[in-house]
Structure 1
Amino acid sequence: MSQIRKNARKFAAIIGLCSVAFVAIPLAGTSVSAETAPVFTLSTTVENVQQCGSLVGYTISSTGGAVTRYAISPTVPKGLIFSSTTGLLSGKPEVVASATQFSITGTNTAGSLTKYFTLAVTQPEIKDIYPKCQVVTGVVGTSISPTVAYYDWNIPSEYNFTISPALPTGLTINELTGVISGTPTKETPAVDWQFTVTMDEEDQPNQYFATVTMTIYPLVVATTTTTTTTTVAATTTTTTTVAPATTTTVAPATTTTVAPTTTTTVAVAKKTTIVCTKGSTTKRVTAVNPKCPTGYKKKTK
């Protein structure tokens, strides 16, 4: 009986050692980790930039969990681009704007964090027309968003806007405001194709210029491919081949009729100039169908 007790105690000791080993040794190749919420800072929180100047922006330093997506509010000024992947802001602002505070929020599955960036877009104080850096993007067959009307800084009189090279078919420029609008029916020769807008100062030999960068993409038509499979039952056929008779065919003479050339004369509209007055101020407007600016009256002989 004593031997049985001894064996039982040895067996219990072995079971205990196995239990301890099982608890102490983790399963190979496994790990447990919990994602942490985002923690990051902006390198700068305030910036003043001139209209059409390149934004310096900020950098982001992260010390917490990896951010899966960034968001910004309110919507950034026209000409600026915000990346939801990196959280960075870049570009050239096209419109003057007072100091605005933007909230930049980084998010992952464990939480989110918001930082703030204040941006002011100031007006350049140089005699010229503005804005000087408009960007237009569109697709053939779809109306573009009209550009911003040009305005001047310290130019006494203006109007008569033109553009070079010619705009894509379907787009026009307003001769009095410089606004580009319409529905393009042809794409630009390349991405970021540049156009020069010219404004002639009235009664002066001065000209002022601005750049419009435009990309009109071709219309992409989706195509559907259908595959049809036909199964034909096999049959056994006995075929007897007979040599065919030889036939000679003579092709008939061919007569070609050439249509006479047609000449079409197209009347070209001619621009005319009118004189508009407002008090002691006089302006001349040149266009196909010239009209006086608001507040001015057409001068009659």
Structure 2
Amino acid sequence: MSNPNVIKGLNAAEKVVDIYATLTDKEGKPLFTFLFNPESKRYSRRADYTEAPTALTSTPSQQYKYTTGLTLLLNNLLMQSYAEGKTCKLLLQKLQGLMVADPTNSKLTPALVYFTWGSDKFGPAVITSLDWSESSWLNGEVAAARVNLTLLEVPILKLASTPTVKDLEAASTKTVVLTPRQVNEAADAATKWLKANVKKLPEKITALVKVNKYKLSTDPQGNVTIFSSKNENLGIVGNYKNGKFTTTNNSLKPSTSGLVNGLINSSTPVPPPLVNGLI
């Protein structure tokens, strides 16, 4: 016999017929409708801890790490269309489509879904596992199958952070501004390059580098320009980006061919000086 006090504290629910389970997107648009409702739903969740030794006892302490998202297992789902003379292959293909990305259509990650059955809703979630066994066929195509489906709950924040192709393209063209530390790193890298190539620079620049009578300026985009001690613009040394110094935009005309680490492009415009200081 059930505990009547506990029963009184439960929420009321009505019995409704002809309601079929679906997988929907966050707006409630159906992505997949189940041919037959689930015969069972199994949920699981796990809290992860790291064991550590404890003094004066053989029982280790437990340091909490995280709690996994809720997992929903829908096992032994029935797909049966043999009697109607139809194949249920399309339903299996739809489920598989929710597990893959489609970069050509700006879909870089699999779909986030909600399992919805009447007033019950589970999600947002991703489909992590799908398998099925076929038992009947029409002209070789499946007409009866049993399907096992696993959904894993993901953070709601993921809804706003899933990138699209347009997002990535915009990010790649976005101007990246160097931090003060990176500006100094760019100047250091340019100094090392100048000293390594001192004999291959124009005579005027070679003379200045040998006696340290020059200045380096790094603009916010990482372009490093060399100036004389009298603030005469002598050209671009190179560019510092993502921790690497390259000289593909170098505009210093060499006295001999072949500078180290890069090509020469004398047509590259020189940015306005932002002097780091006399070296």
**Highest CA radius of gyration, 1 or 2?**
1
Q: Which has the higher helix share?
A: 2
Q: What's the TM-score once normalised by structure 1's chain length?
A: 0.19
